[in-house]
């Protein structure tokens, strides 16, 4: 496998695991606030991130590369409000989209067509990840970050479940 792409993909495994770590931290923050729906939503988000990491892991293995696990940076444990946590999640997804775009550019420069093709799933996924996080930010803003409205959003967020995408194998 192309060495520069392999290094970039290994770094992305780390970034995806870091994302999972961040969302678990947000889940714990919401548990502490007794917002169990918010906490559950974030836990599902963390599971999605573990799935993203495993997709990069499998691709490196399939292409005869070597997966190298790296230390995971610490994450925040407190936010000012539920809205602040979701704004941070939205900001984080924009950062991840930027990373994926750079990986596409790298794969293209290196002429690694298989890697570029593989990354298309993530390009599409990031459109959804950003849209979903932004939608939740707007919902929380609308209900004013507290009271009965927040309770309703909590109930709605609690409905989310993790389903392995069809091409997950």
**CA 25/CA 21 separation, integer angstroms:** 6
27 binds ligand OFO (CB under 6 A): no
By beta-carbon proximity to ligand OFO, the closer residue of 150 and 157 is: 157
- What does the buried/exposed string (b/e) look like for 17-44 if buried means 16 or more CB atoms within 10 Å of the residue's CB? bbbbbbbbbbbebbeeeebebbbbbbbb
Cβ–Cβ < 8 Å for 75, 22: yes
Q: Which of 158, 114, 125, 138 is nearest to 16 (CA)?
A: 125
Taking the complex as a whole, how short is the minimal distance between the CB of residue 167 and ligand OFO, in angstroms? 16
By beta-carbon proximity to ligand OFO, the closer residue of 14 and 145 is: 14
* CA-to-CA dists, residue 3 to 10, 48, 65, angstroms: 10, 27, 8
Please pick, from the candidates 52, 83, 106, 136, the single residue that binds ligand OFO as defined by CB under 6 A: 52
87 binds ligand OFO (CB under 6 A): no
Task: Look up residue 119 and give its two tokens.
Answer: 């990354």
19 binds ligand OFO (CB under 6 A): yes
By beta-carbon proximity to ligand OFO, the closer residue of 96 and 150 is: 96
Please pick, from the candidates 129, 150, 154, 157, the single residue that binds ligand OFO as defined by CB under 6 A: 129
By beta-carbon proximity to ligand OFO, the closer residue of 93 and 112 is: 93
**CA 163/CA 85 separation, integer angstroms:** 24
| Position closest to ligand OFO via CB | 19
By beta-carbon proximity to ligand OFO, the closer residue of 43 and 52 is: 52
**CA 48/CA 39 separation, integer angstroms:** 14
49 binds ligand OFO (CB under 6 A): yes
Which residues contact ligand OFO (rule: CB under 6 A)? 16, 19, 49, 52, 93, 96, 129
């Amino acid at each position: 496998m192309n060495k520069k792409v392999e290094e970039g993909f290994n770094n992305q495994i780390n970034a995806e695991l870091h994302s999972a770590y961040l969302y678990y931290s947000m889940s714990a923050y919401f548990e502490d606030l007794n917002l169990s729906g918010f906490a559950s939503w974030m836990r599902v988000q963390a599971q999605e991130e573990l799935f993203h990491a495993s997709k990069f892991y499998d691709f490196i293995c399939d292409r005869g590369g070597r997966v190298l696990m790296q230390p995971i940076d610490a994450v925040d444990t407190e936010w000012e409000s539920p809205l602040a946590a979701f704004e941070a999640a939205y900001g984080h997804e924009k950062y991840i989209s930027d990373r994926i775009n750079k990986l596409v550019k790298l794969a293209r420069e290196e002429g690694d067509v298989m890697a570029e093709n593989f990354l298309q799933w993530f390009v599409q996924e990031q459109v959804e990840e950003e849209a979903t996080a932004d939608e939740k930010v707007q919902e929380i803003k609308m209900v004013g970050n507290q009271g009965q409205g927040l309770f309703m959003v909590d109930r709605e967020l609690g409905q989310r479940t993790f389903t392995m995408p069809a091409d997950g194998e």
